[in-house]
Chain A
Amino acid sequence: MYNKIIRNDMIKSKWITVTTMIFVAAAAMLVSLAAILAVNLYGALDTLMTKAKTPHFMQMHAGEIDTARLTAFAKQNSNVDEFQVVEFLNVDGAQFIFGEKSLANSVQDNGLSVQSEKFDYLLDLEGNVINVSDGEVYVPVSYMKNNTAKVGDKAVISGKEFTVAGFLRDSTMNSSLSASKRFLVSSSDYAEVKTLGNPEYLIEFRLKDRSGLGAFETAYANAGLEMNGPTVTYALFRMMNAISDGIMIGVILLVGLLVIAVAFMCIRFTLLAKIEDDYREIGVMKAIGLRVSDIKKIYLAKYAAIAAAGSILGFALSFVFKGMLLENIRLYMGESKYSSFVYVLGIAGILLVFLAIIVYVNGVLKRFRKISAAEAIRFGTAQEKSAGTKRFTLSGNRLFNTNIFLGIKDVLARKRLYITMLAVLVISAFILIVPQNLYTSISSKSFINYMGIGNYDLRIQLSGNIDNVDDKVSEIVETVKSDQAISKVAVLTTKTFKAKMEDGSEENMKIELGDHSIFPIAYTEGKAPAADDEIALSTIYADEWSLKVGDDITLAIEGTEKDLKVSGIYSDITNGGKTAKAVFTDDSAGMMWSIVSAELSDKSLVDAEVEEYAAKFDFAKTSNVDEFVTQTLGSTISSVETASYAAIAVALVITVLVTLLFMKMLVAKDRYSIAVMKAFGFRNSDVKAQFVSRSLFVLIVGIALGTLLANTLGEMLAGMVISSFGASKFDFAVNPLSAYLLSPLMMIISVLIATILGTSRAGQIKIFEHIKE
């Protein structure tokens, strides 16, 4: 019997059935995709890090190294399982030539390495430890993705010829967030070119017990061992490898949840309308003694059928799209070892969607209990109280045209029904605006201020371990200052100091000294250090040491103590996020590095200037900041841009489909009142005007709420995405023209078109068919 009832009902309302099914299928697809991607990411990452034997602790170090002392430390520390020092020969990007292309513009620290002996292996694309022969080079996989090189290419590195034998996955440096990239060559080739670059060291440990990592880090720091460079631990490697795909999964899941919400709203609307239509029948069924659960079953069965069909369709679709989305994970990390789980989790995902719908429908159907059999049979409709609209009467209306009045009045009188449409439009506005604002924000010039970088055009970085570095810095500053094209110059020098902790221990702390007011960055709290006794901390330092603005911190400088007050806290993505800024002058210890940053009055000259300084100061690394941003954030910006266009399309499709669906249903539901109005001389255009004012009224409220939500909740959500890059506080940069004018306009046009299409049948309603007894 159910089958027949369901079939008849679906044929009668095929539009509604199809639209609801589309939303269910989309939701199921997205949730299933998120599950599939998450399993693959987790599995592939695990496989990669297991096969490569990723170090648990890695200290990068530039300068002299005392291997004997390090070995002694490793032997003496009981938690150390394995220890090794890997050499990394930093080579200037221009020295890497692949055919016509070179890495001259690369902001990465590109360098050569040999295969590790004990762990931290470099793997080929099949996941095997690479055995490299003389004359061969293996290139980081990211250079395969951006088509810099291909297998078989001739490569010239530091003047020596190599053949590109393949590509490598590097579990520690794969990510674009990692500043260095290792090229693998044979030991004898490495020895040959070693003199042509600056060797740096990767001091690596694997521990017996990873939970003792914190203690190990402290022990390493307290032993006063080599640490002129960033420290990276296993969790950070994992995070850096997972982040870009992780964000994608997060976004898919979020969109999936929003689509489920839209599906819920469609179901709610159609179900409420259906209950209203069937009010008398439900009353009769109750009156003749059918149980509420029996009646519910009839309605539930239909939605179970829709949900089942939609879920299966969505599951199938997720398999169509998964290959495309898995591409990146496969390239950077390889296959997942949990491939059989993929089906299980995908199915679990769609089951979740299916169950959520059943539970929701069941919840909406609770209404049945409230239906009084007697009332339903007598009046045939719910005796709904339209409280709050009593005073809004036609006789008292001076403001609106009668059709507009009737439209608004209808919305106010049937809030329960329209709230559903409102919710969908709020979601649409949200989907429309948030990605757009996110894109505007991260593509704006000031966005890098959130990441600890000021608004300068070029920077010249000198490593502290080159000879006569102080003189060279002065030379650069003088040259730059006398350059007519340059309007502002700042010099910031980073040195390591010992900071005294509360428990009396000392920790190394990198502090950037100089004038921080020339190229200001964004502070999460407080402000830039201005006085000699002030210091600003990066979020990671502040969190690690539980320091707030106004707290004190003590540095030990050559035996004397210096007290500093925390003036501000900022987000930083540079140098592993552990940085500090101060203005005091210090002539003591040697510097780690120095950066001369400059702003040009004519931005078009940046490329030429960068080239000129790069040639003039070959001992330093000159880079274009825009280039730096493009290379580190460029792919993110462009994917957010694509996502924002996709979001606009999705939002408008949802708007049109749902408005169309609602209007068609409303016309069917209101055919009696339409007939009445027509009988009393209202034209078809009047009826249309009433429907248009209904949907526009709901839309205007929806846009207002959606925009408000986008700028609060949306900003918070976007902030969470941004914080994964290291920035902690985040305000939307809004393009008012597109967010407050174009987007609402697009929605209004969509709703207008959908309403006019959706109400086209209103004109065909025959008066006598509905009024005649």
Chain B
Amino acid sequence: MIKIIIGDRIVKSFGEGDEKRNVLDGVSVEINEGEFVAVMGPSGSGKSTLMYALSGTDNVDGGKVVFDNRDLSTASENELSDIRRTAMGFVFQQPTMLKNLNILDNIILPSMRDNRKNAAKISEKARTIMKRVGIAELEKRDITQVSGGQLQRAGICRSLMNNPRIIFGDEPTGALNSKTAEEIMDIFSEINADGTAVMLVTHDAKVAARTERIMFMRDGSIVSELKLPKYDGADMDGRVEKVAVKMREIGI
């Protein structure tokens, strides 16, 4: 198994002096290539902070993060930008789109930074992906003219544009109704089936139950882990039950 991310005793603290507290208290975590993982935990447990630390979006105060054999803690800000742009994908809870650009332009934006000359090719690729996630007809719409679910699909399209090694999702279904959330999770499953690793932060047991490994966090530490077989569409209720039992067991 090739490890694409290794987090080694990561420490991240907020505040100063007496107020100082560790949001990540020496967390170690590894993610394998093509793996589908979830991080669960109550608010303030540090799950989002862990994701930002692992993706090099936020620097760490202790320990180190290695992505694809590169130590992110010693990388320059520009190198971090380049890694995020070329090897990672991001999907957030709120659709993080630029107001001035239409849907298609928002999707191709990160790819266009380096390959303006290939605009036609890039747009073609975007259309293919949009078709796949079911928003082919929306390319010319403004971001205010589509629904939340459609925006989230567009966000996923954007994250796929540069063929990332891993996609990070911070509560990607948090703002959606359950039917739409399920559709979005179907897309994530499909992406993962194609070989892209996916790491989701969520507090929704149904979302976590789609993945094959769930890390449970509390007070800045991973307190437990649950492994599930790869999801094949069957026995969803059983998987959700297993997650729920684990959650009760550790009291979150």
Interface positions of A (Cβ within 8 A of B): 379, 381, 383, 386, 389-390, 393-398, 400-403, 409-410, 413-414, 673, 675-686, 763, 766-768, 771-773
Chain B minimum-CB-distance residue to A414: B100
| Across-interface contacts of B8 in A (CB, < 8 A) | none
Chain B 69-111 against A: per-residue CB contact (8 Å), 1 yes, 0 no? 0000000011001111110101011101111111011001110
B109 touches A394 (CB 8 A): yes
Contact A679 B90 (CB under 8 A): yes
Q: How far is the CA of A386 from the CA of B143 in the complex (A)?
A: 12
Most buried by B among A381, A390, A768: A768
Given contacts A402-B112, A413-B100, 5 further A-B contacts (CB under 8 A): A390-B140, A395-B126, A683-B81, A685-B78, A768-B49
B77 touches which one: A379, A403, A673, A683 (CB < 8 A)?
A683
Could you tell me the distance between the alpha carbons of A504 and B244 in the complex, rounded to whole angstroms?
117
Q: Which residue of B lies closest to A686 (CB)?
A: B113
Chain A positions within 8 Å of B48 at CB level: 768, 772-773
Q: Is the CB of B110 within 8 A of A773?
A: no
Once bound together, how far apart are the Cα atoms of A414 and B52, in whole Å?
32
Most chain A CB within 10 A, of B101, B170, B171, is at B101
Is the CB–CB distance between B123 and A771 below 8 Å? Answer: no
Contact A681 B84 (CB under 8 A): yes
| Given A395-B119, A680-B90, A683-B77, A768 and B58 contact (CB-CB distance below 8 Å) | yes
Most buried by B among A381, A394, A414, A679: A394
Chain A neighbourhood of B110, CB < 8 A = 680-682
0/1 string, B168-181, CB within 8 A of A gives 1? 00110010000000
CA A389 to CA B100, docked complex, whole Å:
9
Assuming the A-B contacts A682-B85, A682-B113, are A673 and B171 also in contact, with contact meaning beta carbons closer than 8 angstroms in the complex? no
What CA separation (Å) do A402 and B109 show in the bound complex?
A: 8
Residues of A near B99 (CB, < 8 A) are 381, 413, 673
**A395-B119, A767-B57 given; A772·B52 CB < 8 A:** yes
- Distance from A748 Cβ to chain B, minimum over Cβ atoms (Å): 24
Shortest B60–chain A CB gap in Å is 12
The answer on a CB contact under 8 Å between A394 and B77 is no
A771 CA to B116 CA, complexed, in Å: 27
11 interchain pairs (CB within 8 A)?
A386-B100, A390-B102, A400-B116, A673-B99, A676-B97, A679-B92, A681-B83, A686-B113, A763-B77, A767-B57, A773-B171
Closest to A772 in B: B48
Q: Is the CB of A394 within 8 A of B85?
A: no
B158 at the binding interface (Cβ < 8 Å): yes
Residues of B within 8 A of A681 (CB): 81-86, 88, 110, 113
In this assembly, does B147 line the interface, its C-beta being within 8 Å of a C-beta of chain A?
no
Chain B nearest CB, measured from A625 CB (Å): 62
Which residues from chain A contact B158 at a C-beta distance below 8 Å?
Answer: 680
Given A683-B77, A772-B48, does the pair A401, B104 have CB atoms closer than 8 Å? no
What chain B residues lie within 8 Å of A396 (beta carbons)? 119
Complex Cα distance, B105 from A403, in Å, reads 13
B223: min CB distance to chain A, Å:
22
Q: State whether B98 touches A383 (Cβ < 8 A).
A: no
Given A394-B105, A394-B108, A395-B123, A768 and B57 touching (CB < 8 A)?
A: yes
In this complex, the interface size class of chain B, counting residues with CB under 8 Å from chain A, is 35 or more
Complex contacts, A773 vs chain B, CB 8 Å: 48, 92-94, 170-171, 174
Residues A679 and B96 in contact, CB atoms below 8 Å apart: yes
- Across-interface contacts of A682 in B (CB, < 8 A): 81, 85, 110, 113
A127 to chain B, nearest CB (A): 68
A621 to B172, CA, bound (A): 95
Residues of A within 8 A of B171 (CB): 773
Task: Please pick, from B86, B102, B126, B144, the residue contacting A383 in the complex, using a CB distance under 8 A.
Answer: B144
B230 to chain A, nearest CB (A): 29
Contact with A along B52-76 (1 / 0, CB 8 A): 1000011000000000000000000
Please name the residue on chain A nearest to B174 by beta carbon.
A773
Chain A residues whose CB sits within 8 angstroms of the CB of B123 once the complex forms: 395
A763→B100 CA distance, assembly (Å): 21
Rounded to whole angstroms, the CA-CA distance of A647 and B100 in the bound complex is 38
- Check B144 against A379 for contact (C-beta < 8 Å): yes
Contact A684 B77 (CB under 8 A): yes
Give the Cβ gap from B65 to chain A, nearest Cβ, in Å: 15
Whether A397 lies near B98 (C-beta < 8 A) is no
Contact B78 A680 (CB under 8 A): no
Query: Which residue, B88, B116, B142, has most C-beta atoms of chain A within 10 A?
Result: B116
Closest B residue to A679 using CB positions: B90
Contact status A771-B96, CB under 8 Å: yes
Select B92's contact among A400, A683, A771, beta carbons within 8 Å: A771
CA distance A673 to B90 in the complex (A): 15
**Candidates A381, A394, A676; contact of B112 at CB < 8 Å:** A394
Q: A402, B174: Cβ atoms under 8 Å?
A: no
Tell me if A393 and B102 are in contact (CB < 8 A): yes
Interface pair A673/B116, CB less than 8 Å apart:
no
- Distance A681 CA – B55 CA, assembled complex (angstroms): 11
Chain A residues near B97 (CB-CB < 8 A): 676
Question: What separation, in Å, do the CA atoms of A398 and B115 have in the docked complex?
Answer: 11
With a cutoff of 8 Å between Cβ atoms, the chain A residues found around residue B96 in the complex are 675-676, 679, 771
Contact of A680 among B85, B105, B139 (CB under 8 A): B85
Instruction: Give chain A residues whose Cβ lies under 8 Å from the Cβ of B142.
Output: 386
Q: How far is the CB of B117 from chain A (nearest CB, A)?
A: 8
| Max chain B Cβ within 10 angstroms of own Cβ: one of A390, A401, A414, A767 | A767
The residue on B at minimum CB distance from A383 is: B144
Contacts of B126 in A (CB 8 A): 395
CA distance A673 to B104 in the complex (A): 17
Q: Bound complex: CA of A771 vs CA of B93, how far in Å? A: 9
Please provide the 7 A-B residue pairs with the shortest distance between their CB atoms, ordered closest to farther.
A681-B85, A394-B105, A413-B100, A681-B84, A395-B123, A680-B110, A683-B81
Residues on A with beta carbons closer than 8 Å to the beta carbon of B108 = 394-395
Q: In the docked arrangement, what's the CA distance between A672 and B123, Å?
A: 25
Nearest chain B residue, comparing its CB with the CB of A393 = B105
User: Nearest Cβ distance between residue B53 and chain A, in whole angstroms?
Assistant: 10
Report Cα–Cα, A686/B144, bound state, in Å.
26
Which chain B residue shows the least CB distance to A394? B105
Q: Which residue of B lies closest to A379 (CB)?
A: B144
Residues of B within 8 A of A677 (CB): 98, 109
Contact call B98/A673, Cβ cutoff below 8 A: yes
What residues of chain A lie closer than 8 Å to B102, measured between beta carbons?
390, 393
**CB neighbours of A683 from chain B (8 A):** 77-78, 81-82
Report Cα–Cα, A772/B90, bound state, in Å.
12
A691 to B144, CA, bound (A): 24
Which residue, of A390, A402, A409, A410, has the highest number of chain B Cβ atoms within 10 A?
A402
* Cβ–Cβ contact B104 & A395, under 8 A: yes
Interface contact B101-A394, CB-CB below 8 Å:
yes
Whole-angstrom distance between the Cβ of A393 and the nearest chain B Cβ: 5
Knowing A381-B99, A395-B119, say if A679 contacts B57 (CB, 8 Å).
yes
Q: Which of A390, A401, A680, A766 interacts with B58 by CB under 8 Å? A: A766
A607 and B94 CA atoms in complex are apart in Å by 83
Shortest CB distance A277–B (Å): 14
Would A768 and B119 count as touching, CB distance under 8 A? no
Bound-state CA distance A386–B109 (Å) is 19
Contact (A402, B116) CB under 8 Å given A409-B100, A673-B98, A681-B84: yes
A594 to B240 CA separation, bound complex (whole angstroms): 115
Cα distance, A398 to B139, chains bound together (Å): 18
> Are the CB atoms of B98 and A676 closer together than 8 Å?
yes
By beta carbon, the residue of chain B nearest A391 is B140
Interface residues as binary, B130-171 with A (CB distance below 8 Å gives 1, 0 otherwise): 000000000110101000000000000010000000000011
Alpha-carbon gap, A686 to B92, bound state (A)? 22
Tell me how far the C-beta of A680 lies from the nearest C-beta in chain B, rounded to whole angstroms.
4
**Whole-angstrom distance between the alpha carbons of A210 and B41 in the complex?**
97
CB A679 to nearest CB in B, in angstroms, measures: 6
A675 and B122 alpha carbons, distance in the complex (Å): 23
Which of B81, B110, B122, B170: most chain A Cβ within 10 A? Answer: B81
